[in-house]
Amino acid sequence: MTFYDVVQIFKDFDYDSFFKGITDMQIEKIIAKDKLDKFDFLALLSPTAEKHIEEMAQKAHNISLKYFGKNVLIYTPMYVANYCENKCVYCGYNCTNDINRKVLSLDEVEKEAKAVHDMGFRHVILLTGESRKYSPVSYIKDCVKILNKYFSSICLEIYSLKKEEYEELVKAGADSLTMYQETYNEELYSKVHLGGPKKNYRYRLETPERACEAGVYSVGLGPLYGLYDWRQEAFLGGLHGAYIQKKFSGVDVNFSVPRIRPHAGSFNDLHEIDEKTVVQILLALKLFIPRSGTNITTRECSEMRNNLIPLGVTKMSAGVSTEVGGHTQENPGEKQFDTSDKRSLEEVREAITSKGYFPVMKDWEPMVS
């Protein structure tokens, strides 16, 4: 069994009828519970629950304080290649987009790593587009080995790999994986992924499981909000986290709520979500899986990110460039999307401190030498 089988169970689920039956009293009871089941979680994503967002926030704040304390971990992404074979209609790296493509040489990766390290970062995410020609696994492995010299934690945000390939990268020093499903709706998935290896819905859906089997310590999950009905997406995203947590009990589960940002793509049929909805999703996830981490990316603006901190945020990026070699290259590769929050590391640290939280730069020790 994999998470694909769980998705099938809810394929014909009547969400509308479920939401219509949810009362205020039910929501109040759910918020008061110690442990939520999946239908409690779904109820917290209902229109009725919107009215109870403050009570949900208070609970999420307390949960997060107990399990994560007043700490927010800071990381930054490192883009090393943007060649891509996929045709994802919402992404700037879409292979049909005429953009400045680039792959850093290993020397350039080292230079970029040193610059990012000297800025103070110890946790990084390594990003590439999907191109086994320009950024093959062997290249990614070489990058991980270089990053290993400079950083405590290396998270992979690359294309879907086989279990054996993840094993190689874990052995080289990668410890975490971020793998956004984009949409849990199989039909829509096929419509927004027009071509390329990423078109295989099931292969992508099962990717976190392969990485966990290969020994990663932490996974980041979530749909890309804006492609489809957010309530269904958030529900399946939460179930995905619960499934991973149960199947791989040693793995930390993290959620983020990325919203579609302006990009070089052309997809216009958007189901946009507002800030209140982002908050409702984050809170429902925290109440459902109390020990899940919450990651807020620079897709959100600085004000929103500041305000979210006490609601249970455990990770934030800073000093973000989504360009290939954006920290050292004179002519970096095209950015993946426009960031909303362009603050430097120091500014983000100050913002976290001013909220009464501690900006943590290092919270991992590599398990490989």
Partner 1 sequence: MDELVIANKKIKSRFFIGTGKFSSNKIVPDIIKSSEAQVITVALRRIDIHATESKDNILNYINKDCILVANTSGARNAEEAIRLAHLAKATGCGNWVKIEVISDSKYLLPDNYETLKATETLVKEGFVVLPYISPDLMDAKRLVGAGASAVMPLGAPIGTNRGLKTKELLKIIIDEIDIPVVVDAGIGKPSHAAEAMEMGADAVLANTALATAENPVLIAEAFKLAVQAGRKAFLSKPGIGKELASASSPLTGFLR
Q: How far is the CB of 345 from partner 1 (least distance, A)?
A: 10
Alpha carbons 132 and 157: distance in angstroms, whole number:
15
Element (H, E) at 73: strand 71-79
Q: Check binding of 353 to partner 1 (CB under 8 A).
A: yes
Q: Check binding of 118 to partner 1 (CB under 8 A).
A: yes
Element (H, E) at 295: strand 293-296
Q: Check binding of 271 to partner 1 (CB under 8 A).
A: no
Q: How far is the CB of 308 from partner 1 (least distance, A)?
A: 17
Binding mask 211-250 for partner 1 (x = CB under 8 A): ------x---------------------------xx--xx
End-to-end CA distance of the chain: 34
Binding mask 119-158 for partner 1 (x = CB under 8 A): xx-x-----------------------------x------
- Report which residue type is found at 243: Y
Element (H, E) at 25: helix 24-32
For 32-63, letters b (16+ CB in 10 Å) and e give eeeebeeebbbbbbbebbeebbeebbebbbeb
Q: How far is the CB of 119 from partner 1 (least distance, A)?
A: 7
Cβ closer to partner 1: 257 or 309? 309
Alpha carbons 341 and 352: distance in angstroms, whole number:
14
Cβ closer to partner 1: 157 or 252? 252
Q: Sign of dihedral through CA atoms 50, 305, 296, 58? A: negative
Q: Check binding of 364 to partner 1 (CB under 8 A).
A: yes
Among residue numbers 4 through 63, which ones bind partner 1 (CB under 8 A)? none
Among residue numbers 286 through 315, which ones bind partner 1 (CB under 8 A)? 291
Cβ closer to partner 1: 120 or 136? 120
